[in-house]
Amino acid sequence: MSRGREHGKSVVVLRADASARVGLGHLRRCATLARRLRTAGAEIHFLAKTEDFDPALEIGDIAEACVPIDPTLQGEPDAARTAAYCLNAGADRLIVDHYQVDEAYQSVLRDAGIRWLQFDGAANMPLWADWVVSMSAAADEARYRALQRRPETRLLVGPRYAILRDEFLRWRAPRPISLRANRLLLTFGGGDDRGACLACLEALRTTTEFEITILSSSYNPQIPSIRSWLERNPAIRGHLLLDDKDVARRMTKADIAITAGGTTTFETAMLGLPALVIQIADNQRANSQALERAGVAIDLGPLEQLDTDQLRDKLLGLAGAPGLRQRMANFGRESVDGLGAERIVRELYPDMEPVS
């Protein structure tokens, strides 16, 4: 029996993946949700499958235990390992956030009597979880309703459920929009940017009006190439920051961001930072397109089809259009208020004390 059970605490197990290849978004949003749950009184356990990455860097001291999952475990064996851990720990909730979940995986959890929340961004398979979260701006509740296999499943759909770290919530206050934008932020997540940053820099090589801040992580294999490019192009005012701990403040200092179509779009939206979005993975397409339809961002399409002339022209046009940037900022704040984690905690544990 777990110590949490002995003391009457709720026990939550979180199963997430992280690597340069899949990025750090899954683990980071789970860590944020775990902090809210811990503050509300739950005991936290992590099951993490990582590649060349120490999950403790994100989880810190919030977990009672952080247990590595064998990378060779796939599909149903992975689900069986997860279910066994939950039963042994006396967990009353499981949170699953990785790409290997299919109907067979869910069947293992269901047959074990596990109650679980499942992150899903594709809406392309039957869903058996007790709670399903899709933060995407493109999420369609009717489509999810057609996939749910149990009437009691709770569907938590749309950017209202976007999970943002505490640092972003401290910078929610609206800020003035400059007449001419010249502070540009490039950021493509915590993993491999797949060459997106270099593509942006090449597009801007003949444009020197921007002061460019590049936020990346030391897990990005493109870093040597980015450094080399900046050294070869000293006229470009570019600053590369790795593993920066002050991301939210950096965003508030920028006028425009160019970013990937994943979790970062919710951060820029809530902070009122107009963004141009490049889809660096297939699963970012629907969200990127929906953000453009909502007036929150400008979708530049998939990275492999990126038109660098169009990128430069769109950026320069946006830089000189304060009215458009103000509308994008307003739409962003309306779509993402930063309270998604609190809403999810209340769904998981309606009787828990509210999270401050």
Which two structure tokens, joined as six digits, stand for 50? 């990582």
pLDDT at 21: 67
Cα four-point dihedral sign 160, 164, 170, 175: negative
Buried b / exposed e over 184-221, threshold 16 CB at 10 Å, is: bbbbbbbbbbbbbbbbbbebbeeeeebbbbbbbbebbe
Which residue spans within 111-182 are E strands per DSSP?
Answer: 116-119, 131-134, 154-157
pLDDT at 152: 97
Give the DSSP H or E segment for 196: helix 196-203
- What pLDDT tens digit does each residue of the chain (356 aa) get? 344 444 568 999 999 988 766 667 788 899 999 999 999 999 999 998 887 667 766 777 788 998 988 888 999 999 999 999 999 999 999 999 988 899 999 999 999 999 999 999 889 999 999 999 999 999 999 999 999 999 999 999 999 999 999 899 999 888 899 999 999 999 998 888 999 999 999 999 999 999 999 999 988 999 999 999 999 999 999 999 999 999 999 999 999 999 999 999 999 999 999 999 999 999 899 999 999 999 999 999 999 999 999 999 999 999 999 999 999 999 999 999 999 999 999 999 998 765 54
Determine how many CB atoms are found less than 10 A away from the CB of residue 54. Answer: 11
- CATH class given for the domain over 3-164+338-348: alpha beta
pLDDT at 315: 98
Measured CA to CA, the distance from residue 151 to residue 145 in angstroms comes to 9
pLDDT at 353: 65
pLDDT at 7: 53
Measured CA to CA, the distance from residue 206 to residue 311 in angstroms comes to 13
Concatenated DSSP letters of 62-115? --SEEEEPPTT--HHHHHHHHHHHHHHHT-SEEEEESTT--HHHHHHHHHTT--
pLDDT at 2: 43
Each as own residue / partner, the long-range contacts of residues 102-105 (CB below 8 Å, 24 or more positions apart, any chain) are: 102/75, 103/128, 104/75, 104/76, 104/79, 105/75, 105/76, 105/78, 105/79
Measured CA to CA, the distance from residue 119 to residue 222 in angstroms comes to 29
Comparing 3-164+338-348 with 167-335, is the CATH topology the same? yes
- Output the CATH code of domain 167-335: 3.40.50.2000
The residue ranges of every structural domain in the chain are 3-164+338-348, 167-335
Determine how many CB atoms are found less than 10 A away from the CB of residue 247. Answer: 19
Q: Is 195 left (phi over 0), alpha (psi -120 to 50) or beta?
A: left
